[in-house]
Amino acid sequence: MSQEILDGLAVIVNEVAGVPVEDVQPDKAFIDDLDIDSLSMVEVVMAAEDKWGVKIPDSEVKNLRTVGDAVAYIQTATA
């Protein structure tokens, strides 16, 4: 698990939804634990695409249930 990607994602989630950076941990679910609604999730994805130069298709977004899922996806996509 890339700490750098996790840290970067935490900053994005904080910026978009105001969730404290330290609460953005790999086991946390975006919707159920962090209270990210569907519109804010789109924003998180857009910001991640910009930051890491990756494309996250809508068909993949529904599989990114937890922060860890997103970190893993971005890590693979940038590898």
Partner 1 sequence: MRIAITGLGATTPVGGDVASSWAALLEGRSGIRTITEEWAADLPVRFAGTLAEEPPLDRVEARRLDRSQQSVLVASREAWADAGSPEVDPLRMGTVIGTGIGGVITLLDAYDVLKERGPSRISPHTVPMLMPNGPAAVVGLAHHAAAGVHAPVSACASGAEAMAVAARMITDGRADVVISGGTEAPIHPLTIAGFAAMRALSTRNDDPSAASRPYDLARDGFVMGEGAGVLVLESEEHAKARGARIYAYLAGAGLTADAHHIAQPDPEGRGAARAIRAALEQAEASAADVVHVNAHATSTPQGDIAEAVAIRGALGDTAAIVTGTKSMTGHMLGAAGAVESVFTVLALRDRRVPPTANLVDQDPEVQLNVARDTPSELPAGEIVALNNSFGFGGHDVALAFRSAE
Residue 46 found at the interface with partner 1 (CB under 8 A) = yes
- 60 binds partner 1 per the rule CB under 8 A: no
Query: How far is residue 39 from each of residues 3, 30, 46, measured CA to CA in Å?
Result: 26, 12, 11
Give the residue with the Cβ less far from partner 1, 1 or 23.
Answer: 23
As a whole number of angstroms, the distance between CA 33 and CA 23 comes to 9
* Least distance to partner 1, CB of residue 23, Å: 14
Sole binder of partner 1 in the list 2, 8, 17, 75 (CB under 8 A): 17
Tally Cβ neighbours within 10 Å of residue 21: 13
Residues that bind partner 1 (CB under 8 A): 16-18, 38-40, 42-43, 46
